[in-house]
Each structure stands twice: as structure tokens, then as C-alpha cells.
Amino acid sequence: MIVIHSEEHRLQAGRSELNDGQLVPCYEKPARADIVRARIEAIGLGPIMEPTRHGITPLERVHDTGYLGFLQTAWDEWVVEHGADIDALPLNWVAPGMSRRRVPRSIDGRLGYYSFDAGTPITAGTWRAATAAADSALTGAARLRAGDRSAFALCRPPGHHAGRAFYGGYCFLNNAAIAAQSLRDGGAGRVAVLDVDYHHGNGTQEIFWERGDVLFVSIHADPTDEFPYFCGHADETGAGAGEGANLNLTLPWGTDWSIYAQALAAAAERIRDFGADALVLSLGADTYGGDPISRFRLLSEDFLRMGAAIAGIGLPTLFVMEGGYAVDDLGVNVANVLTGFEQG
């Protein structure tokens, strides 16, 4: 399996995030990608290549141009107002009854306008790291179009929480959605996106909400209890042309493999029924029992079973890295999914 990865991920290295009422060191950090790459190299999963640069056009197929412009200039504008000694974090957000008709002029206002949490710092290297991650996903999609059975885009920062015109949850550009759109533009009639991250892929859902050509299926912790809280419920099925093309499979805290496997089987059945030509797999490994910010109980060996089940769907598959914050075990867990797929 070809692995696509850029060392420019290191340019996104936030100092702190707001969590549990205090500023703490960022859980989303360069060591995450480093340990996954090290494990892939140790087991000889496949060659590792740098991504091809694709420019901004594929990003504009998914994201709002004003939002992309904001991401490109946000750090420089923040430095003018606040200096470079602290990361850019938002101060306030739009609440019900407040208007989003005008984009604020102030950088502080625009941070709140385009974000939904205070856990996703913008730094000097955010734009370069995020675009390198998107290029990794796009390069993986190109491998599938060229006939590869599978590819792994080792993206960092992750992407599934980023919507058409918002960021949050450590995500700036929606790598999986960008790849799915690229596959559609490259000739795939239908594409499925399966998100196995512990947290709901709210950004991916928002991007494809009214699309009938891209199926989005997410297996995640019940948002009644868990981030991102305000979407990801089972009764959210899409709208307009996308009605029925969105499936949320919500699971309770404490879910182990016996419960998770049933949801994964249901997801696989829905994807087969959809008749997709390719599958984009948002691979979050924060379903692991040892993850510090999640509450499922999957074991490392369960990720082998997960990979085999995904292989059983029988589609060309692009794996796109998302979450997973138990850094010491992350490499083994991610590699187990890919190994299970290869052996499946």
C-alpha cells in the first residue's frame, strides 16, 4: 500500500488549546504523525512518497473562497494585532439570533466567524501544513484513479471537522471531502465516505448534506454526550438531492468491539447498497480504549478486524488520517487497520 506523507505537517505545532476550562498543551501535535510513520516503516507496509502539489483549485471545489482567503492571511493579521508570541484563538462565536450576514473586519471577529471551538490554534505554519495534508489526500485519490486498490494519506492536521467555511476540532481543510470530490471529478459516478473516528465528522456531513452522489456514513460517539455535540444524530439523513445519503450510527460511551462491529457491518451494507465506485475512509484511531479524550474501549487487535471488515466492502479505498491521541499506541493501531485491510 502506497503511503503519502509530507514533513510539512510539522509546521502546525500549536502551543495550547482550551480544554476543560483551561489552556493545555495541544493533543493534536507532530508526534502523532511521526509515530504512525515510524510504525509503517517498521512493518514495511509500503513505499512512502511526498504528495504532488495540486494548487488551490481542488480546495475551492469543496471550500468557500472567502474562507480559504482567511486561512491564508489569518496568522499575519493576528501578529499585527497581538504579536507572534501566542497562537491565534477565537474570542467569541455567533449565537442564535446573531447575524452572519457580514464578515467582521477585525481578525478577532473573523476568527470567531469562521471557527466553532477554541481548541484549534492557527499558527505561522497552519496554511502550509493544511495544504500539504490536502495534497496528500489528493495524491492518494490520484493513485486510486490510476488503478491502485488502496492508498494511505497520512494527513496532519486532520480534516473531518472542517466544513465548507469553518474550522475546528483540530481541522482546517477537509482532506477526505477534497479527496472524494477529486474522485468524482476524475470520473467516479458515486463515492462513499466512511468515517470511523470517535467524533462525528460534522464538516464532511455539512459539505455533502445536499449531495446525492456522495454517501457519508459516520460511526461515532453519541453527540448528546460528546463533541461536537450539535450534529451527528441518527435522524440527520441529508436534504434535497442528498436526502438518504447521510447515515449517522451513534454509539454510547464504553462501546467495545462487540458493539462496534455491528455498526461497522451496518455501514458496510449501506455502502454496498449505494453502489459507490470508490471509498474514502476517514481513519480516526481515537476509538481506542486508551485514548485520553475519548470513551470507547477498542483494543489494538480490534483495529485488525476493522481493516478486514473495510476490505470486505470490496471498493478501491483511500485511507485518510484523522484523529487518535494515545500517541504511544497510535502507530500500532493505525497500522493494524491498514494491515487488516491488506490481509482481508
Query: Which residues lie across from 153 on neighbouring strands?
Result: 4, 320
Rounded Cα–Cα distance for residues 186 and 239 (Å): 25
- Per the structure block, which three cell numbers stand in for 285? 484511531
Closest CA to 131 of 194, 186, 68: 68
Q: Which residue in 54, 161, 199, 220 is the catalytic one?
A: 161
- Per the structure block, which three cell numbers stand in for 257? 468491539
**223: pLDDT strictly greater than 90:** yes
- Per the structure block, which three cell numbers stand in for 100? 452572519
Rounded Cα–Cα distance for residues 87 and 89 (Å): 6
Locate the domains of the chain by residue range.
2-63+130-343
pLDDT digits 0-9 by tens, 227-283: 999 999 999 999 999 999 999 999 999 999 999 999 999 999 999 999 999 999 999
User: Is there a contact between 25 and 34 (Cβ–Cβ < 8 Å)?
Assistant: no
- For 284, other C-beta atoms within 10 Å of its C-beta total 26
CATH, range 2-63+130-343: 3.40.800.20
Is 161 a residue of the active site? yes
Rounded Cα–Cα distance for residues 33 and 66 (Å): 29
Report CA dihedral (297, 299, 303, 309) to the nearest 10 degrees.
-70
Rounded Cα–Cα distance for residues 125 and 75 (Å): 8
Average pLDDT over the chain reads: 97
Evaluated on CA atoms 173, 320, 15, 19, the torsion sign reads positive
Q: pLDDT-derived band of residue 159, with 50, 70 and 90 as boundaries? A: very high
pLDDT digits 0-9 by tens, 280-324: 999 999 999 999 999 999 999 999 999 999 999 999 999 999 999
Its pTM stands at 0.98
Closest CA to 153 of 168, 130, 175, 169: 175
Cα separation values, 336 from 47, 51, 300, 305, 326, Å:
17, 23, 7, 8, 15
Q: pLDDT-derived band of residue 48, with 50, 70 and 90 as boundaries? A: very high
pLDDT digits 0-9 by tens, 96-132: 888 888 999 999 999 999 999 999 999 999 999 999 9
Provide DSSP, 60-120.
HTTS-HHHHHHHHHHHHHHHHHH-SSS-B--S----TTS--SS--SSHHHHHHHHBS-SS-
Burial of 71 (0-12, 13-18, 19+ CB in 10 A): buried
DSSP SS3 for 214: strand
